[in-house]
Amino acid sequence: MVDPLKIPYLTTQQMIEVDRLMVDVFGIQLVQMMENAGRQLAILARDRFLKGDPVNKRVIVLAGSGGNGGGALVSARNLHNWGAEIEIFLTRPFSDLTGVVQKQAGILLSMGLQLRTAADLRKESGLGLVIDGIIGYSLRGAPRGAAADLITWANGRNAPILALDLPSGLDPVTGEVHQPVIEAAATMTLALPKIGLKSPTRPVVGELYLADIGVPPELYQQPSLQLQVGPIFHEGQIIRLT
C-alpha cells in the first residue's frame, strides 16, 4: 500500500509546471490528460457513489470553461455510455467555450445530450450524484457569477457531491475556504495532491482520492521540480489518501 505521507503535495505553480512539462517535454497533450482525468472520475463516481451500476442513475455534471470543466465533461460522456441519466450545466454558453473544452462539449452535443447553463437551474429530486468540475487550481478569490450560482445550487441538493481536483471555491495553495465553496463528499485530485487539500480543509474536501493521469515519474525529476515520486499507482489507478 502507498504511504500517503510520502506523497508530495504541489503548489499551483508546480502544477502549472507539470502541465507544461507534459506538453513541451514529454509530448503528452492536454486532451490526453483530460481524457484520463475524466475517465478516472467516472470510474470513481460509478464505484463509490452509484453502487457499481450507473444504469438509470441520475447524475448532474457542473462544468466550468477550463480544464477542470473539460474533465467533468469527459466523465459525463463515460457515465452516459455506461447507462446513467446525465444532465450538464455550464458556467457559460457553448458558443463561449474555446479549445479542447469546446471540443469535449461538442462531442456531448453530437451524442444528443443537452448543455444548459446556470440560468436553467431548477430544483431536483432523486439525484444519485452531483459532479463538481466548476473551478480547478486556477481559482483566484471567491467564486462569482455563474460559478457561484452552480456551487450554491449543488450544496442545496440532497445528493453527494464528487469534486474534480479540488472543491470549487477552495484555494489550492493556502487552503482558504472561500464563500461559496463546494461541500464535497469526496474529492478526486489529479497527478499529485494540491497543498490546499491538507487539513484543516478536510470538511469541504470529504474523502480524498488521487488519480493517475499518466504523468511519468521522470517528469517530476526535471530540474524545475526536483521531486522524487515513485510508482505510486502500482496497486491501482485511483488511490485513497484520507
pLDDT value at residue 92: 95
Please state, in angstroms and rounded to a whole number, the distance separating the CA atoms of residues 28 and 218.
13
Please state, in angstroms and rounded to a whole number, the distance separating the CA atoms of residues 177 and 179.
7
Domain that holds residue 161: 4-240
pLDDT value at residue 89: 96
pLDDT value at residue 1: 54
Whichever domain contains 205, its CATH number is 3.40.50.10260
pLDDT value at residue 137: 83
Query: What stretches in the chain show pLDDT beneath 70?
Result: 1-5, 125, 201
pLDDT value at residue 3: 66
pLDDT value at residue 141: 86
Domain count, the chain: 1
Q: Could you report the per-residue pLDDT of 48-77, keeping only the tens digit for each?
A: 999 999 999 999 999 999 999 999 999 999
Place of cell 456551487: 151
3-state secondary structure of 19: helix
Spell out the SS3 assignment of 184-218: CCEEEEECCCEHHHCCCCHHHHCEEEEECCCCCHH
Please state, in angstroms and rounded to a whole number, the distance separating the CA atoms of residues 62 and 38.
13
What residue type is assigned to position 179 of the chain?
Q
pLDDT value at residue 30: 94
pLDDT value at residue 96: 96
Is the Cβ–Cβ distance between 178 and 141 less than 8 Å? yes
pLDDT value at residue 123: 72
pLDDT value at residue 203: 87
Question: Which set of grid coordinates corresponds to residue 214?
Answer: 499518466
Q: Could you report the per-residue pLDDT of 97-111, keeping only the tens digit for each?
A: 999 999 999 999 999
